[in-house]
């Protein structure tokens, strides 16, 4: 029998706090909330305001370190809803080489939950990650898609994945012990325009777009690929992430749930797609000593389809075309 899922209604005049609003997903979320008619939004990020990916003049924007309890108490004041997207993170190159920094992100969720409980916040969303899943389930590129229960027994991605799994548990216990309504989504590789595409924190879709664009513009038709290119992933376009995030927060789904595309590709196939968008063919040089993460990871969307009658469904080719166009414009403008 299909479970009954009711949806919480958000009043447009209630104050919404978006933690990590200066980042990729957070910036898009603030813009989407504005489009949906929300008039009171507080955007918070540790980065200086001039380094935020997107800024909106009609939104209260604050530079605060949410790893500090006093900053969290200031941020949550008067808020009824919290989206916690704040984290010190990046692509595989960053999280494999900065495990301690990733672990310290636990302070953000710890202090934000505490402040939310004390302030009587109504609903709290936590952005978790597919990196929480047991590594033994991700050794084969011909992967069996990951179901929610595959997070246990716990053996997540070292550093980043452990922090996310611990923070999921903390959300659960704040719900059980203190009555704070918490919702958790496990994001699978979110990509799109207005994100990091260079500097070391970028993820594979943006990195490959940048590398293909640079090869095309320079005339040096070569590309370095991390690993052997056979590792597999699914990638979720930002618009699907925004819809799923808000639907999950508004639902009665109390356990962590996958939010990701089920369209599985290898990194080599992702390069094929970007080459086709760019109209070039490049010589591929494989860096086998570079960080490449697990061999295979895909999202099993059985549960989200059952509970929300929806799943992320933007075709990778379509989302990558938009991402490529945005990164191309950035690179050309900065030359």
Active-site residues: which are they? 160
The residue among 140, 24, 2 whose CA lies nearest residue 32 is: 24
Q: List, in sequence order, every residue forming a beta bridge with 186; answer none if it has no partner.
A: 128, 258
Rounded alpha-carbon distances, angstroms, from residue 282 to 248, 285, 320: 41, 9, 18
Residue 28's SS3 state is helix
Report the alpha-carbon distance of residue 122 to residue 6 in Å, rounded.
Answer: 16
Report the alpha-carbon distance of residue 130 to residue 230 in Å, rounded.
Answer: 19
Count of positions (residues) in the chain: 335
Phi, psi of 224 (to 5 degrees): -90, 130
CB 270 within 8 A of CB 204: yes
CB 327 within 8 A of CB 197: yes
DSSP strands (E only) in 133-239 = 181-187, 190-191, 222-226, 232-234, 236-237
């Amino acid at each position: 029998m299909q479970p009954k899922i009711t949806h919480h209604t958000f009043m447009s005049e209630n104050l919404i706090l978006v933690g990590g609003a200066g980042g990729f997903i957070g910036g898009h979320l603030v813009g989407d909330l504005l489009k949906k008619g929300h008039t009171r939004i507080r955007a918070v990020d540790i980065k200086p305001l001039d380094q935020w990916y997107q800024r909106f003049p009609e939104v209260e924007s604050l530079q605060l370190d949410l790893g500090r309890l006093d900053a969290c108490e200031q941020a949550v004041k008067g808020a009824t809803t919290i989206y916690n997207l704040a984290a010190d993170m990046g692509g595989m190159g960053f999280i494999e080489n900065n495990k301690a920094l990733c672990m310290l992100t636990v302070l953000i969720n710890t202090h934000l939950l505490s402040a939310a409980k004390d302030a009587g916040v109504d609903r709290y969303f936590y952005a978790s990650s597919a990196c929480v899943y047991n590594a033994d389930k991700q050794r084969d590129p011909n992967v069996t898609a990951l179901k929610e229960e595959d997070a246990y027994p716990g053996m997540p991605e070292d550093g980043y994945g452990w922090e996310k799994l611990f923070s999921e548990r903390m959300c659960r216990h704040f719900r059980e012990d203190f009555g704070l309504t918490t919702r958790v989504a496990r994001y699978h590789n979110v990509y799109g325009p207005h994100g990091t595409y260079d500097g070391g924190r970028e993820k594979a879709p943006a990195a490959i777009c940048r590398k293909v664009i640079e090869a095309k513009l320079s005339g040096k038709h070569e590309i370095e690929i991390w690993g052997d290119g056979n590792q597999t992933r699914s990638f979720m376009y930002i618009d699907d992430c925004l819809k799923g995030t808000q639907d999950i927060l508004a639902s009665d789904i109390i356990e962590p749930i996958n939010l990701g595309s089920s369209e599985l590709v290898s990194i080599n196939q992702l390069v094929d797609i970007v080459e086709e968008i760019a109209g070039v063919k490049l010589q591929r040089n494989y860096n086998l000593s570079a960080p490449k993460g697990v061999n295979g990871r895909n999202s099993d969307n059985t549960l989200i389809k059952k509970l929300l009658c929806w799943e992320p469904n933007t075709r990778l080719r379509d989302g990558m075309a938009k991402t490529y166009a945005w990164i191309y414009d950035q690179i050309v403008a900065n030359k």
